[in-house]
Amino acid sequence: MKSIRLLATMVATMVVCATSALATTLSATFNVDNGFFAYISTDDGVQGTEFLSGESWPTSFSGSVSLTAGVTNYLHVRAYDTGGAAAFMGTFSLSDTGFAFGNGTQSLVTGEGYFQQSTTGWGSYGAVTDHGGHGSILPDWFRPAQADAARFIWSADNAADNEVYFTAAITAAAVPVPASLPLLIGALGVFGLLRRRSR
């Protein structure tokens, strides 16, 4: 009986350790004219949990958040402007291969293709509009904390749409089963059969 309990405890510990080892972290750097709130969600129609915000266009804000294992996560960014040209630029990375961005890698920058936007709220998204690279909107709009390939994105009208909701999918990879786990489960079954026969 004690052997079976010990094996059961070992199996449970291995599952917890394997899950912990596969935890993936999203790291992000934002510049938004004029401010933003960043969230992580497991539902593209739901805002999610806030992990970073900022309101200073010249300032690059950086933060990180753990992703929920085994499901698609969504980076949600609610960006707002208080007048004049509006823009959102970002550089993003994942800590391991447990997840991938829409481009199939662990690195992403703002641009057309992998971000979508809505001017009405979460859900029912359309394509973003690329408003140029570093220094393209105004000469002083160069942000050294951002990757060289990062682009300014917004809706099509970055002078009138004062609040835009952005989303980017982060897809979970298949979770490998630890090689020793089937052996432990098999051993647990054998001990169970032996215990029944001994009765």
Domain ranges in the chain?
Answer: 2-18+177-198, 25-172
Q: What angle (nearest 5°) sits at the alpha carbon of residue 38, between those of residues 35 and 28?
A: 100
Closest by Cα among 132, 92, 145, 95 to 114: 92
Q: Where are the alpha helices (DSSP H) in the chain?
A: 2-21, 181-198
Cis peptide before 31 (omega within 30 of 0): no
Six token digits for residue 114: 């992998």
**pLDDT at position 184, please?**
43
- Name the β-bridge partners of 116: 127, 167
What is the structure's pLDDT at 59? 94
Which two tokens mark 31? 């510049």
Q: Residue 41: which residues within 8 A CB-CB, separation 6 or more? A: 47, 48, 49, 73, 74, 76
- The owner of tokens 């010249």 is 58
Q: Which residues contact 112 (CB under 8 A, 6 or more apart)?
A: 127, 128, 129, 130, 151, 153
Give the number of other CB atoms < 10 A from CB of residue 37. 18
* CB-side neighbour CA atoms (13 Å) of 192: 9
Residue-level pLDDT at 19: 45
Q: What is the mean pLDDT of each run of 10 residues along the chain (199 residues)?
A: 48 43 89 97 98 95 98 98 92 98 97 95 96 74 87 95 97 68 48 51
* Tokens coding 184: 């432990």
Neighbours of 14 (CB within 10 A): 15
* pTM, 2 dp: 0.78
pLDDT at position 142, please? 76
List the beta bridge partners of residue 33: 87
